[in-house]
Amino acid sequence: MNSPVRKKGVLRTLAAALMLMMSGMALAEGSVDLSQSPEVSATPEGAIRMPKQQERMALNYVNQPPMIPHSVDGYQVTTNTNRCLQCHGVEHYRTTGAPRISPTHFMDSDGKVLSGVAPRRYFCLQCHVPQTDAPPIVENTFTPSQGFGK
32-42 pLDDT, tens digit each: 444 443 443 34
Q: Does one domain contain both 73 and 143?
A: yes
pLDDT at 10: 65
Per the annotation, does 84 bind a ligand?
A: yes
Which residue, 108, 95, 99, 94, is CA-closest to 65? Answer: 99
H helix intervals, the chain = 4-28, 85-88, 93-96
Whether the CB-CB separation of 93 and 102 falls below 8 Å is answered with: no
Per the annotation, does 124 bind a ligand?
A: yes
pLDDT at 144: 87
Give me the domain span that covers residue 10. Answer: 4-31
Per the annotation, does 29 bind a ligand?
A: no
**Mean confidence (pLDDT) of the chain:** 76
Q: Does one domain contain both 63 and 16?
A: no
Total domain count, the chain = 2
DSSP 125: G
Whether residue 106 has pLDDT greater than 90: yes
pLDDT at 109: 92
CA dist 22 and 141 (Å) reads 22
Backbone φ and ψ for 24, nearest 5 degrees, come out as -65, -40
Per the annotation, does 92 bind a ligand?
A: no
pLDDT at 20: 59
Per the annotation, does 6 bind a ligand?
A: no
